[in-house]
């Protein structure tokens, strides 16, 4: 579990110090970790291995009701056997998982066991409202459960809390149901419905393949033609894809998902969807009408679109599988954003403030990337808090 001596600062053991007139005003630690998904738990694990003690030296704050990160909110039909690229947390493998069991249950139970095994003492539910500049070079983390003061911050809030809803003309006039992947209830809810699925990522294709057997009809629309990837996705290809995402982050641009540069794996389910017409993609519509979606006269449509009625498609449901954005609004008081709209990051460190590390952001927004980023962030924080060690 925890290796190394108890954490010291200037030769003295740092204990849990309460600051202010009321003992509940400010709790002082060395590091605050925000989020207890893969990135947050990986970071907390490496803090313990480095010698930091939970509650005394660091605190992990999570707004979710229980363990599991964003996984606990996934739809029931996303079984563990359908999950792509789930890597174990550092120090403990995920074994004997039933592939037919919902991934939300499997991974929530695994994260719960992990937190207890390594004594990470995650505090939940705690909503982080803002991170501000404090006194003596410290950061103030304002939460629903009081304020924390820290010398460094690991932000591991992911993206699930910020679903991206595009805006299109006429959207407010639609008489049917509009929902996002974050609200997806499973395919049975769409029985007998005419469904338009928007989005060319993994979620969009998974939704379509699940919904098609139940729905009266499905229509798939994307802004760009989908790219299907054949053959194995080896380590070299993975590094190249991550490098493309990392370059955007270095430039201070909003990160794109790794999937956006890797393409979609051409597996057996995708091949069947292409063959039976479920994955027959149309270009993005121009407007939403009260009873469906519509393309303008200048919009190119495939032959199948013209045969099915041309430039209008009736719909009962529009399902937006349009992805998520990083949940970093609570960092706004620190003014980390660049003119390009993103936070410029070197490794995991925010260039504008070396006390702040973003784990699970941009190139580390994958389970294996979050593991590595958690270790890197803790290493850099150790150098920040004990500069005499960095100089040795």
Q: What is the CATH number of the domain that holds 346?
A: 3.50.50.60
Mean pLDDT of the chain: 85
The residue out of 320, 338, 364 marking a domain boundary is 320
Are 88 and 119 in a shared domain?
Answer: yes
Are 30 and 69 in a shared domain?
Answer: yes
Are 150 and 75 in a shared domain?
Answer: yes
Are 180 and 67 in a shared domain?
Answer: no
The boundaries of the domain holding residue 52 are 8-161+325-391
The angle at the Cα of 247, spanning 341 to 160, to the nearest 5 degrees, equals 55
Q: Which residues contact 275 (CB under 8 A, 6 or more apart)?
A: none
In a domain, 238, yes or no: no
Dihedral-angle region of residue 120 (phi above 0 means left; psi in -120 to 50 means alpha; beta otherwise): alpha
In a domain, 203, yes or no: yes
In a domain, 239, yes or no: no
In a domain, 38, yes or no: yes
Are 179 and 297 in a shared domain?
Answer: yes
In a domain, 243, yes or no: no
Q: How confident is the model at residue 388 (pLDDT cuts 50, 70, 90)?
A: very low
Are 307 and 177 in a shared domain?
Answer: yes
- How many domains does the chain divide into? 2
Q: Which of 18-27, 156-165, 195-204, 282-291 has the lowest mean pLDDT?
A: 18-27
Instruction: Give residue 104's pLDDT.
Output: 94
Are 66 and 184 in a shared domain?
Answer: no
Are 74 and 210 in a shared domain?
Answer: no
Q: How confident is the model at residue 305 (pLDDT cuts 50, 70, 90)?
A: very low
pLDDT at 1 over 60: no
Are 177 and 290 in a shared domain?
Answer: yes
Are 72 and 175 in a shared domain?
Answer: no
For residue range 71-98, what is the model confidence (pLDDT) as tens digits?
999 988 889 988 866 789 999 999 889 9
In a domain, 55, yes or no: yes
Are 330 and 315 in a shared domain?
Answer: no
Are 32 and 94 in a shared domain?
Answer: yes
In a domain, 252, yes or no: no
The residue out of 320, 339, 354 marking a domain boundary is 320
pLDDT at 202 over 80: yes
In a domain, 202, yes or no: yes
For residue range 38-59, what is the model confidence (pLDDT) as tens digits?
999 999 999 999 999 999 999 9
């Amino acid at each position: 579990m925890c290796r190394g001596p108890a954490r010291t600062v200037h030769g003295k053991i740092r204990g849990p110090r309460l600051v202010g007139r009321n003992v509940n005003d400010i709790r002082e630690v060395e590091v605050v970790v925000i989020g207890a998904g893969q990135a947050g738990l990986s970071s907390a694990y490496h803090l313990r291995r480095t010698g930091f003690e939970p509650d005394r030296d660091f605190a992990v704050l999570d707004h979710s009701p229980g363990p599991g990160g964003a996984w606990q909110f996934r739809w029931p039909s996303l079984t563990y056997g359908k999950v792509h690229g789930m890597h174990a947390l550092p120090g403990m493998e995920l074994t004997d998982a039933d592939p037919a069991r919902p991934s939300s249950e499997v991974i929530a139970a695994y994260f719960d066991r992990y937190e207890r095994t390594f004594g990470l003492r995650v505090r939940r539910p705690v909503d982080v409202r803002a991170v501000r500049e404090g006194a003596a070079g410290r950061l103030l983390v304002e939460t629903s459960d009081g304020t924390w003061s820290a010398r460094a911050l690991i932000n591991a809030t992911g993206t699930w809390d910020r679903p991206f809803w595009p805006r299109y003309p006429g959207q407010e006039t639609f008489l049917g149901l509009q929902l996002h992947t974050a609200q997806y209830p499973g395919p049975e809810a769409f029985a007998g419905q005419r469904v338009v699925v928007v989005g060319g990522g993994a979620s969009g294709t998974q939704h379509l393949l699940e919904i098609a057997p139940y729905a009266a009809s499905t229509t798939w629309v994307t802004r760009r033609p989908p790219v299907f990837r054949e053959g194995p996705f080896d380590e070299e290809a993975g590094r190249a894809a991550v490098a493309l995402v990392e370059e955007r982050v270095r430039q201070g641009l909003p990160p794109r998902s790794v999937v956006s540069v890797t393409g979609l794996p051409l597996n057996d389910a995708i091949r069947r969807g292409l063959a039976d017409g479920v994955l027959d993609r149309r270009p993005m519509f121009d407007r939403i009408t009260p009873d469906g979606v519509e393309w303008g006269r200048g919009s190119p449509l495939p032959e199948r679109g013209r045969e099915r009625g041309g430039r209008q498609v009736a719909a009962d449901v529009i399902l937006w599988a349009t992805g998520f954005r990083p949940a970093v609004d609570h960092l706004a008081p620190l003014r980390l954003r660049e003119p390009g709209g993103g936070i410029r990051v070197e490794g995991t460190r925010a260039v504008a403030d070396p006390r702040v590390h973003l784990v699970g952001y941009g190139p580390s927004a994958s389970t294996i990337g979050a593991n590595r980023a958690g270790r890197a962030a803790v290493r850099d924080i150790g150098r920040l808090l004990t500069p005499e060690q960095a100089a040795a």
